[in-house]
Each structure stands twice: as C-alpha cells, then as structure tokens.
Chains A and B, each alone.
Chain A
Amino acid sequence: MNISGWIMLVVSWTVIFSLVIFCYYRIFTISKSHMQAPLEIDTEGK
C-alpha cells in the first residue's frame, strides 16, 4: 500500500467516523424538551 493509498483510506475513514460519531452523539444527547418547532401552518400550496 503506497502513501497515497494510506491518505485516501485515512481521510475517508475519518470523514465517516466523524459523521457517525457526530450524528449518534447528537441523537443521544439532544433533549427534545429544549427544541422549539415553528408553527405548523399548512396551506397545501394554496
């Protein structure tokens, strides 16, 4: 495996690991009680 191969592997794995950790961290730590959704006004395109 050459140096370019290692770079591609490490960068790809880092991107995916970071995304997975970020997403699951947010999923398990966000308290829904702090979330404020906008008003639901549905005009169905009218």
Chain B
Amino acid sequence: MPDDSLKKRENWGSRIGVILAVSGSAVGLGNFLRFPVQAAQNGGGAFMIPYFLAFLLLGIPLAWVEWTIGRYGGRHGHGSAPGIYHVLTGRKRWAKYLGITALLGPITIFFYYCYIEGWTLAYAFFSLTGEYNGISHPDQMSAFLSGFQGVETNSFFNGPWTAYSAFVVVFVVNFYFIYRGVTKGIEQLNKVALPIMFLIATVLLVRVFTLDSPYPDRPEQSFINGLGFMWNPDFTALKNPSVWLAAAGQMFFTLSVGMGSIMAYASYLRAKDDVTLSSLTANSTNEFFEVILAGSIVIPATFIFFGAMGTMEVAQGGSFNLGFVTMPLIFNQMQGGAFVGFLWFFLLFMAGVTSSVSLLQPMITFLEDELKWTRQQSVVAIGAVGFIVTNFIIFTLARGSLDELDFWAGTLFPVFNAFLAVTLFAWFFGVKKGFREFDMGADLRVPRFFKFILLIVTPLSLLAILVTWIIQQGIPVLTLENVDPENRVTVWITRFILVAVALAIVLLIRVARRRGRFVRREELR
C-alpha cells in the first residue's frame, strides 16, 4: 500500500527535467579532468574495452537499480537510503542502518566539493581579469594555485581569502537551488545548465580542433596526433589488472552511482513513470559529455602545446594539476586564451554546481521524509553544519583533511553503497519482483539476461573492487602510512568529524523510528 505521506512529496515537472537532473548530477569535474587522464594513462584506446564492459555490467544495471528502488521508495514516502532499504527488505529491523553511508557519503563529498567548485568560479574570473596572465612556467602556475588555496603565502596571494570568498558564493548558490525545491530549483537549474554546458564544450572542442602547433619546427604537435595520444591503443595494457580496475572505478564515479543522489531524485517520480529508458538516457548523456566532448578537449590541447613527453608528465601529475595548472598555461599561449579560459572554468563551474546540488539532496530528502522537517529547517541545519565542516577543510587543506575525506566519502562509500543497493535489490527484494518494478511504466524492456548480471556479476564485481581498494588503499590510509607525523592530529580530527556526522545520522534515524517512520513488519500485524 502506498504511504499517505507520498501525497505531500514533490514530483518532477517533466520527464526531460529528471533526465537532465540525473545527467547533471553525473556530469561533473571528473568527466572533464579525470576521464582523459585515466584513458591516457591506461592503454589509450584499449582502455575503452574495459570501460565499455564496465558500462554494460556495472554502470547501466546499477543505475537501473537505483532509479527503480528510488521510485519504489518514493511510492512509500521514503526518498533516502534508510527508508528505501527499510521498505525494500520488507521492513527488516536492521535495514535502515545500512543506509547511513548513503547519507554520510554525499553530504561529506559536498563539504569539500563546493570548495573546489569555488576554485573553478574564481579561475573563470581570473581568466577574464588576466590574473594568471604572463605566467609561463608550470612551477610558477603551481605556486599561483598553492597561494590561491592558502597552502603557501607567496607573491600571488596572501592567504586563502580569495578562495574563501569564491567558496561562500558557491555555497550560497547551491543552497539557493536546493531551497527552491525539486521542480523550481534542481529541475530548472539543470534545464538551463545542461544545454549551456553542451554549447560551451562544443565551442571549446571547435577551438581546440582549429589550433595549430605553436612551434613551427614541431608540426607533429597537432590536434589529430593529440587524439592519437589518447586513442592509439596499447593492447598489452589489458594484461594489467589495474587497468581493468581503473576502468571500473572511472565508470563508477562518472555515473554518480552509489551516491544516493539517483535514489533521491527518482523518489520524486510518479508511481508509473518510466525508469529504464530515462536511466539509460541519462547515462548516455553522461557518456557523450565524457568520451566525445571531454575526451577531445583536454588531452589534444595539452599535446599541441606540450608534445608527447609533456602530456605524459601532465597526465601523471593528476587531474587537478591538469585542470588548474596545465590548462591555464595553455590559455596563456593561445589566441583568445582569456575568453577560452573563462569558458573552460565556467564549464567546470556549471558541471560542479549541477553535481553538488545532487549531493545535498539525499540528506534534505531524509530530513523532510523521515523527520518531517520543512525545507527551510533542513536547509538551515545542513547549511550550518556544512559551513563549519567546510571551514575546517579550507584551513587544514595542506594538512590532508580533504584527502582523508575523499578516500572515505569519495572512494570507499560509493562502492559500498552500490554493493548494498544491488545486493538488497537482487537478493532481498528479489530479482523477479525487481524486474516487475523495472517493467512498471517502462518505455524500454530490460533484457532478461540482466537477471544473471544483477544477481551475480555486478555484486561480485563490486565486492572485488571493494576488497582490492581496501587492501591497496584502505590499509595504508587507516595506518596513516603516507601521512606526515605533523599532520596526523588533523587527520584524526577529520576522522572524528566523519564519525560524529555518522552518529548524528544514527540518532536521527532513531528519532524517526520513535516517531513511527520505520515501522517493523511484525508491528504491522
């Protein structure tokens, strides 16, 4: 029986609105900065083989599951993981607590993501004002970034106050859209932002395509050879298990699965709205942005200006180095670079905002659904906690707080959450009943061989990724292996904050339970 509280929940204004909202959630900084680096580092064109396999076996089925259980939960008045898992398992006593990390993960990512989002806004402004003009050496540009972040005081910046101002603007923008609600806020934002992002990315692609080598004696540094740097396959890389793991990881992060956002968004669908075609459309939109647009901008542009060796070094330097050090250096050498730089950073800013609002939504949905808080109360509470935690991150950036949070919330929790979601769906809810849910209002019938994939392949793949990451990264992180002794206190404080937020969520779940929100099956009789 659908829950009465469903009557009070919002619905999306249009089908394309929810598709663009989920696409906007998925298309983020990682599409433009992480994917090209991953592809270039892991076998070039050969990387696309494990990448597409991961799309088929992990990305598509996980997204179908999250859309479907989100809609199912919404039908029973629950739009966040604790409530959704509660009804999905037939109201088991323990199920609601499995949803803790699906609330803790996205809200924690939001705390540091909106700070990074502020960097993109500030750099868009810097591009127009010529703040980093004239810097031609990578070390100087790195110093510019470090000074901006407040990691060091130098001739460019005297403290993190510029970055801080940008963060405050971004923070307010995010909460403004969240406060306006699902239809008037998130849907309207994405309906405007996604087409603008598409236009900007296309303009940038055309600009990179028309670039010539800046060095007449190096005509081989061309756009086509830049594409070759990224796409020429090294099939021997496929023998390396870490390449397969990198492809699975990239697929995982790019589609925003395991974040709780898709479930929260889907909970605002109507009972018989399609989920299968809408989910696939959002996924394909994300892939279009990632592989076709992002894959043709960053690496080819870097290749044209820095050549093969330089691009290899840049790729090894990681995503942030590419986005905030290499790209500004390129804009400085490019005709019309100030405007192109503005477009690039504004594109990253838009991609960031459409993602970060989706990171806030699971917690907002939880407070509204389970505790019956008003939107205003939810926004004020999360805003206050978020402001305090983000301030801690900003002023301890150099001491590793962001890296610590990113490991737990950005790496481990999403895989864990996705494993829980698919396992509960396939093994507790039941794959037969699950397919009936898929088919409800469906515009696309899910092929039946996905039963086997959802029962066996996806959970086992996620378990393998989880175990490998815990061994490879988790143990060194837990034992503070790569942390300077002087930064260990900060890392422990960061962990304490994470545990405190988790305990606060447990407390809120128990309050909701006392208010009759998680009625157990035996109590219904």
Q: Is chain B a partner of chain A in the same complex?
A: yes
Report A's interface with B, CB cutoff 8 A. 1-2, 4-9, 11-13, 15-17, 19-20, 23-24, 26-27, 30, 35, 37-38, 40, 42, 44-46
Assuming the contacts A8-B231, A23-B281, A27-B277, asked whether A40 and B224 have C-beta atoms less than 8 A apart, the reply is no
As a 0/1 sequence over residues 218 to 237 of chain B, the CB contacts with chain A under 8 angstroms (1 = contact) are 00000011011001110000
| Cβ A38 vs Cβ B439 within 8 A | yes
Assuming the contacts A8-B46, A19-B287, asked whether A1 and B227 have C-beta atoms less than 8 A apart, the reply is yes
Assuming the contacts A8-B46, A27-B16, asked whether A1 and B228 have C-beta atoms less than 8 A apart, the reply is yes
Chain A proximity of B470: nearest CB distance (Å): 31
| Cβ B287 vs Cβ A26 within 8 A | no
Chain A proximity of B94: nearest CB distance (Å): 15
Distance in angstroms between the alpha carbons of A35 and B277 in the assembled complex:
13
| Cβ A26 vs Cβ B443 within 8 A | yes
Give the chain B neighbours of A24 by CB distance below 8 A.
Answer: 281
Give the chain B neighbours of A1 by CB distance below 8 A.
Answer: 224-225, 227-228, 231-232
14 new A-B contacts, CB < 8 A, other than A35-B441, A45-B433, are A1-B225, A1-B232, A5-B228, A5-B233, A11-B48, A12-B52, A16-B284, A17-B288, A19-B287, A24-B281, A26-B444, A27-B443, A37-B439, A37-B440
User: CB within 8 A of A46: which of B90, B233, B278, B287?
Assistant: B90
User: CB within 8 A of B45: which of A4, A15, A35, A44?
Assistant: A4
Give the chain B neighbours of A8 by CB distance below 8 A.
Answer: 44-46, 48, 231-233
| Cβ B228 vs Cβ A2 within 8 A | yes
Assuming the contacts A27-B19, A40-B271, asked whether A16 and B231 have C-beta atoms less than 8 A apart, the reply is no
Assuming the contacts A16-B284, A23-B280, A27-B277, asked whether A9 and B45 have C-beta atoms less than 8 A apart, the reply is yes
The number of inter-chain residue pairs (CB within 8 angstroms) is 96
Assuming the contacts A1-B227, A5-B228, A45-B90, asked whether A27 and B281 have C-beta atoms less than 8 A apart, the reply is yes
Chain A proximity of B417: nearest CB distance (Å): 21
| Cβ B90 vs Cβ A30 within 8 A | no
| Cβ A9 vs Cβ B231 within 8 A | yes
Lowest 10 CB-CB distances: which A-B pairs, in order?
A1-B228, A8-B45, A45-B90, A5-B232, A23-B281, A5-B231, A19-B284, A9-B231, A20-B284, A37-B441
Within 8 A of A (CB), among B28-56: 44-46, 48, 52
